Amino acid sequence: MAKAIPLEELTVFSAKNIPALDFPYRDGAVFLVNKPKGWSSFDVVRFLRNRINIRKIGHAGTLDPMAEGLLVLCCGKATKSVNQIQEKKKKYTGEITFGASTPSYDAETDIDQEAPYEHITRGKIEQVLEDEFSGEIDQVPPMYSALKRKGERLYKRARKGEKLELQPRKVIIYSTRIIDYQPPKLTLVVECGKGTYIRSIAHDLGVTLDSRGYLSRLTRDAIGKFRNENALTTEQLNEIFDT
């Protein structure tokens, strides 16, 4: 069984290192791609497959369709290194809207509850983030997620109207920083570990503040040393591969 290629030995293609048409991608390569809003992570995988003509491509950490930003794609032998990348610290910028909640904890589903938010101040948010959303915490994943229960994705069961009691999981929040708060919208930067749902942070933060909240916008800024500012856009990839 082939061993994973160490991260420092991977060939990484980005806006700073443009991919070449004749590169042997089956030998292992990594693409930094800025996923557009509205695309699923698999849409991006399929998009790249059609351009470099390789079946073996996987992403190192999914992004929801409503989210945008950094998606790391591993090709050929580099797919053995996916777990190495997934373990790295992640950085997100998210917008949380207080005063309402949704079943999916984001803007993908309709509002199902409303609550007052006028009492929420920046100071209260900062205190709750420090007390409840710092370090290792217990987090219940959203029902609308790709996690499996009895072999079926949770989001498929949620769409059928099923409600399951999900167990909390340990996740790590390294830091949170408020960028802006213009009620009811909060812009927040979160640095976190593997398996953290920013949607769950939005929902739980709203509840903890005696209101409701959902994730109305999300961008993944970084995974480890990889930065979205260096990622290739789908338009650039189209130009490079002349499609």
Check if 64 is active-site.
yes
Residue located via tokens 């398996």: 195
Q: Distance (Å, rounded) from C-alpha 182 to C-alpha 121?
A: 10
Distance CA 94, CA 89 (A): 16
List 22, 64, 131, 242, catalytic entry = 64
Cα 224 to Cα 70, 158, 193, 214, 220, distances in angstroms: 11, 32, 10, 26, 11
**φ, ψ (nearest 5 deg) of residue 183:** -45, 135
Query: Is the Cβ–Cβ distance between 11 and 20 less than 8 Å?
Result: no
Active site residue ranges: 64
